Structure 1
Amino acid sequence: MPAPVTVVVPTHDRPELMARAVASVLAQTYEGELEVIVVFDACDPVLPALEVGPGRSLRGLPNSRTRGLAGGRNTGILAAQHEFVAFLDDDDEWLPTKLERQMAEFAEHPEAALVGTAMVVDDGVRTHERRVGSTLVGHADLIADRLPGLHSSSFVFRRSALLDTIGLVDEDLPASYGEDYDLLLRTASSSQIRVVDEPLVSVRWAGQSYFFGRWALYAQALQYLLAKHPGFAGNRAALGRIEAQIAFALAAVGDAKEARRWGWRALRHAPRQIKAALAIAISFRLISTERVLRIVRRFGKGI
């Protein structure tokens, strides 16, 4: 029999988007049992009126831990009844065969703690495929590159690994920003990550994200990640990449002095870091943050 799976969907005041996310889970071709847990974070726990077929269950829980995405995910992980736990953000959707493909990968590679997939980015105007470029991801790969095609809404974990070797989602991260990257780095420290490198998740990037425009929290979280993961210090290009992102966030929030400090620091480590140069340009008001974001979003990219 196919292994049963629990799907954790944290949500906050987005009932229509959340209903679409949950519907995409209930419509999976996977023949195993599916338990969907919607975790309501500081909002009324109202489940969508969806038809729940045989072998499927749907329940709602209030976030009983730290407010935010990390606490919501952990609430669902701890309440899960099954060994496999999948994540889905409330503004994203799964393509029908997504879970079927991943669980086949677990069956073929029982040592894997995490299987992800590539994604399709939907910016509200056009869509862009973002692949990972590999079917196997290690710690050094993730230090060198965040591999943005590997989105948290594609993750399926062994629950026992989350409760033991990997640990739960870090609730100390400022506003939970980067919790997915932190989790990938911690997972890859003890287990290789398998990837079905096909776009099986639709990720909405049209400004609805909780983090959209919250630049100060973005900068704080990235500094937290730099301090937590010493592997960045051993890779100048990776260090420069994170520093450039911090510089951009500080420039966007209007802290010109700190933006320039982090920007020059990034360029010393990685002279080709365009984001660092853009941050410095923004700090001198040579270009606006909004214009830069409009340009990169045309290509399905993010800062």
Structure 2
Amino acid sequence: MKDRVFSIFYREYEKRLEIDILNSEIPHHVAVIMDGNRRYAGQLGKTRSYGHAMGAEVTEKVIEWCYEIGIKQLTLYAFSTENFQRSEEEVDGLFNLINEKFLKLYSDPRTHEQEIQVRVIGDRSKLPAFLNESIEKTEKATENYRKFHLNVAIAYGGRQDIIQAVRDIASCISNGKLSLEEVDENLISKHLYPAPGVSVPNVDLIIRTGGDERISNFLPWQANGSECAAYFCAPFWPEFRKIDLLRSIRVYQARKAERKLEQSYRASKVVNFLKIGNRGEKFEEIGQLQSVKRQGIS
């Protein structure tokens, strides 16, 4: 009975929260660090592969939730360059699981009905051939879709991304395709993953599960450059719920409102300063005029 009452209360709260956030600005691009799969499995006395499998199921739900809410771009941190340091068994298991999910994205009618464009960011040369084949197959099948963009970071590192972009630009300069004067922030952004000209845009909101409050070399250029909001939550990734996603968006909206208020306050201070300055000039003019009149009388 107690669980049933809580479930009813939870659903009602989730519904009200969703209505609330839909009345304000929804972030365009959300990025997620899906942390805690292994700790979740350990907590239950299960294998690490069990934790990754449960996390993958939540990932499918999050993609659907983001689409429903109106988010246009979702980037998921599936496998970092640091993850290669894990055991060969775990890495192979992860690649097999990721491959399975890409094949499902390829064949799932929702992918095509909802026009989800799927792209991978990261160093593909480090991935096994069978996974690259599934990635290319899925990317090719969805390349013309524009309603929702799903970016999956595999073998990805933020600094590595910037390094490859700099090398690519240096090569273009060396070949005479670019001049040094053309290099600016916008050009560097265009040369980031996944390919020159179609890079991942600035991030509005980063979510990290599992309790750690760090970004872990994830989209440093796109996140820091846009001063995005960050939401750190305690649940492990397999425990992540729609209400957690809604709460993260509420944090983004609150931060957006605070920034607007701060900008408005600064603007009013400038206006007041200018008004005081103008009054000072008028007082000075009046003083000079009175001085001239006094001189004329005398």
Higher relative contact order at CA 8 Å, sep ≥6: structure 1 or structure 2?
2
With normalisation by structure 1, the TM-score equals 0.26
Of Structure 1 and Structure 2, the greater helix share is in 2
Structure with greater strand share of residues:
1
- Look at both structures and tell me which one has the larger radius of gyration over its CA atoms: 2
